[in-house]
Amino acid sequence: MIAASLADLKAALPRGGRLMGLDLGEKTIGIAVGDPGHMIASPITTIRRKKFTEDSQQLLKLIDERQVGGLVIGLPLNMDGSEGPRCQSVRQFANNLAKLRDLPMAFWDERLSTVAVTRDMISADLSRGKRAKIVDQSAAAFILQGALDSLGR
């Protein structure tokens, strides 16, 4: 089920269900998970994309292991707020995933999430190699944290 809003997502969550944040890139999927109280997002891993079937199997395994009740998926809007081909790809991924698992999902504007995370990593003096390993999962945590903060208001 793809929710119309974060409030709809929260209403559809099973009791105690955690939220998982996804940063769907062309080559990787950054993954973060929230705590049961919906306060804090933590980066957990990055999946190297192959084919939808393999990607979704890995993702569903993580969903089960982490007792995830819903997904917040980053939507890569253009800077003017319009949707381009990347948004269509993300929406299609979500629709295909929804066919495999009845899981509430909502989209969250991810504009500049990777830029913000990379800037923070540079200011923390992380090497380019270390940044490359964690940037996608950190962007997923940034996306999820924004959604959690919005839900908490």
Which pLDDT tens digit goes with each residue over 51-103? 999 999 999 999 999 999 999 999 988 888 888 888 999 999 999 999 999 99
pLDDT of residue 80: 85
Which pLDDT tens digit goes with each residue over 13-23? 888 789 999 99
pLDDT of residue 31: 95
Compute the distance between CA of residue 116 and CA of residue 138 in angstroms, rounded to an integer. Answer: 10
| Three-state DSSP state, 2 | strand
The token duo for 56 is 């979704």
Rounded (5°) CA angle 144-36-103: 65
Looking at the DSSP bridge assignments, the partners of residue 32 are 21, 43
Place of tokens 């089920």: 1
Q: Which domains does the chain have, with CATH numbers?
A: 6-74+89-152 (3.30.420.140)
Compute the distance between CA of residue 149 and CA of residue 129 in angstroms, rounded to an integer. Answer: 30
